[in-house]
Amino acid sequence: MTSLDAWLTLTAAPGVGPRTCARLIAHFGSPDAVVAARAGALAELGLRPDAVTAIKQPNRDWLGAVLAWAAQPDAYILARDDPRYPPLLAEIPDPPILLYVRGDPHLLAEPQVAIVGSRNPTPTGREITRDFASRLAAGGLVITSGLATGIDGAAHAGALKNGKTIAVLGTGPDQVYPACHRDLARQIAEQGALVSEFAPGEGPRASNFPRRNRIISGLSLGVLVTEAALRSGSLITARQAGEQGREVFAVPGSIRNSLARGCHALIRDGAHLVEDPAEVLAELSPLLRRAMADGVIDRRIDAADVGGDAAGSGLDPDYQRLLAALGFDPVAPDVLIRETGLPAEAVSSMLLVLELEGHVSSGAGGCYCRVRE
């Protein structure tokens, strides 16, 4: 039995979830050692009889079917010991044992912001979501969501206009739920990644989606809720994000809009109130720098992501024009857009690059100023 076979065998054992799996591996030393252990030794650690049987007598047909799925082009299985397993996700209390990926597995370790919300948003909610996703993606962030109807779909579609997106599934990686997002899922697999902790063949179950939500927040530096009712599952994702030490953002709305109440509740509980994508970028930039320094994300956001060269002293003309419009007193992005004539999404991404390079500093209200040399 190979190591991947051992990992798969553990995930298939009833009652063996992420925490139990981690405990078994810590005790025996490796997944291979767990499946090679005596049945009695496994029972002594509290495993149920049916779990012991599943480990000692794995379903070979099921293993063969899963490995056949992984043999397809652009299909991957990432175990916790795989170097491509996203380090940020590995930090949460119960990281998935395996990740099934369709698309680019390296994208999972890039800096991400999750966007979630109502399955039945207002037209304004959809528009705001697409705008935030598009502009944040242009700023170099990967947009992560859950492929649901409504806000999730709008977030994926907006991100694909200017960058990359990841869809975290509540089904196996070979399933698309809801079916109306089949074309969107295909586009995400081609330009981003579909990811799931559920094996091929697993259909949508109600219990799968709360588990999916912890992955959405766990992959991300922060979670943005654009429109949600008080009982929305998006609030569960936001709560999990807070428990995982991630930033939580919410877009305010009309007091007469029931789909704004969830966002207002988050803001009352301490979420960042945001009205512009630049405010999200400003709040996340310190986390990005820390993650880069700690090696928690694979790469730094640099000018190559947004079409320029902001490294060191080699600023291109647009960056020089933006810096020239900045003084040592805080300036709002709207003022910079007006004075430079640059597009709003370009200014947002360029300010993030300049801040990461140490040329500018963000302050209260999403304003920026130059850093004195």
- The CATH number given to whatever domain includes residue 309 is 1.10.10.10
| Least confidently predicted of 2-11, 232-241, 299-308 | 299-308
How far apart (Å, rounded) are the C-alpha atoms in residues 330 and 316? 23
| Same-domain check for residues 36 and 123 | no
Question: Residue 118 region, left (φ>0) first, then alpha (ψ -120 to 50), else beta?
Answer: beta
pLDDT digits 0-9 by tens, 12-62: 999 999 999 999 999 999 999 999 999 999 999 999 999 999 999 999 999
From residue 152, how far is each of 8, 127, 158, 190, 253 by CA, in Å? 30, 12, 10, 18, 18
Q: Let me know: does 143 contact 155? Beta carbons within 8 Å.
A: yes
The percent of residues above 70 in pLDDT, for the chain, comes to 92
Per the structure, how many domains does the chain have? Answer: 3
| Same-domain check for residues 265 and 309 | no
pLDDT digits 0-9 by tens, 237-282: 999 999 999 999 999 999 999 999 999 999 999 999 999 998 898 8
Q: 4: domain range?
A: 1-58
Output the six-digit token pair for 52: 């012991």
How far apart (Å, rounded) are the C-alpha atoms in residues 248 and 338? 29
- pLDDT averaged over the chain? 90
| Same-domain check for residues 129 and 3 | no
pTM here is: 0.81
In this predicted structure, what is the pLDDT of residue 371?
A: 80
Q: Is residue 29 in some structural domain?
A: yes
Q: Let me know: does 291 contact 221? Beta carbons within 8 Å.
A: yes
| Same-domain check for residues 110 and 189 | yes
* CATH number, residue 116: 3.40.50.450
How far apart (Å, rounded) are the C-alpha atoms in residues 349 and 19? 39
Q: Is residue 65 in some structural domain?
A: no
Buried b (16+ CB within 10 A) or exposed e, 154-185: bbbbbbbebbbbbbbbbbbbbbbbeeebeebb
